[in-house]
Amino acid sequence: MSTDKEQLDVEEDFIAVEADEVEPVVEVAKTNLSKRRTIDNLLEERRLQRQLADYDFDL
Q: What is the pLDDT of residues 23-38, one digit of tens each?
A: 666 667 788 999 999 9
Interatomic CA distance for residues 45 and 37, integer angstroms? 12
Q: What is the pLDDT of residues 3-57, one digit of tens each?
A: 667 776 666 666 665 656 656 666 677 889 999 999 999 999 999 999 999 887 7
What pLDDT is stored for residue 30 in this prediction? 82
Which DSSP category does 2 fall into?
-
What pLDDT is stored for residue 46 in this prediction? 97
Interatomic CA distance for residues 24 and 4, integer angstroms? 45
Give CA separation, 46 vs 8, 22, 23, 53, in Å.
61, 44, 42, 10
